Amino acid sequence: MLLTSDAGGVRTLTLNRPHRRNAIDGELWDALRTALVEADCDRSVRALVLTGAGGAFCSGADIPQRISTAHPLYRMRQLTDVTLLLHELPVPTVAKVTGVAVGAGWNLALGCDLVVATPEARFSQIFARRGLSLDCGGSWLLPKLVGLQQAKRLALLAETIDADEAKALGLVTWMVDAQKVDAFVDDLTARLVAGPPVALTQTKSLLNEGADRTLRDALANEARAQAVNFAGMDVQEAYAAFAARREPLFTGRWAVPPNRTKEDDT
């Protein structure tokens, strides 16, 4: 159902229901939720990749063959929990999209910080064709990414667009040939892992929150984030590496003064 692998600080979550083009059923929603909670709690994870098996990313939420007796509000909680966990995950996230990304599947990809797609990828906000409204954060994500008018076009008409158009609209960060996409994502995540973890976490949070805040709020949040950064070892390491003309080695460690005095606490 869900495959998990770790390499060099990168955790990869692979949706593994290729017979359904990786449509997400209740069991897979639960597995995703558990996996994201575990990634959030594991300090060895410095970046996360979300992808799909068998030449597809995700064809959306799996429509059950039999009507569920659970109340729709409870069923929707599975989706909203996963959406929030993915969006708020402290580490950088990358969606690697091959094949279709439809409905909730596309919105999970858009919920990642960066999206890498192959030319064969196809995207659709298919909800209207199913008599449904947007979910998995689509109503919040799309207007921020493409503007209100294009968001309405994608949602109301439920058109399928190709990778070229998705990139032109700003819904794909990079488009990479299928033969090269794995190596590209490996290089990209290696660069993210090499970055300062605390600073990247705070930058991600600042960018996510900035669109909904006033400039005064954003400046206050930036000042708070920089104060935390200056209290860590990574800033010192960056300056030392610059002076020595070498690449920095960021650890995210806290810089605690070795000799504290009472004056330090006042």
pLDDT for res 211: 78
**Strand bridging mode 114-117 / 10-15:** unpaired
pLDDT score, position 221: 84
53/220 Cα distance (integer angstroms): 43
Q: What is the 3-state secondary structure (H, E, C) of 41-61?
A: HCCCCCEEEEEECCCCCECCE
Return the pLDDT at 164.
97
| Closest C-alpha to 94, from 8, 192, 24 | 192
3-state secondary structure of 102: strand
pLDDT the model gives residue 74: 77
Counting Cα atoms < 13 Å in the Cβ hemisphere of 218 gives 12
Instruction: Name the strand (E) or helix (H) holding 94.
Output: strand 93-97
pLDDT value of residue 107:
96
Average pLDDT along the chain, 266 residues, taken 10 residues at a time: 97 97 94 98 97 96 68 81 95 97 97 98 95 92 95 97 98 98 98 97 93 80 86 91 93 75 48
pLDDT at 227: 87
Sorted by where each starts, the structural domains of the chain and their CATH numbers stand as 2-193 (3.90.226.10), 197-256 (1.10.12.10)
**pLDDT reported for residue 85:** 96
Q: What is the pLDDT at residue 69?
A: 67
Radius of gyration of the CA atoms of the chain, in A: 20
Neighbours of 134 (CB within 10 A): 19
Provide the pLDDT for residue 16: 98
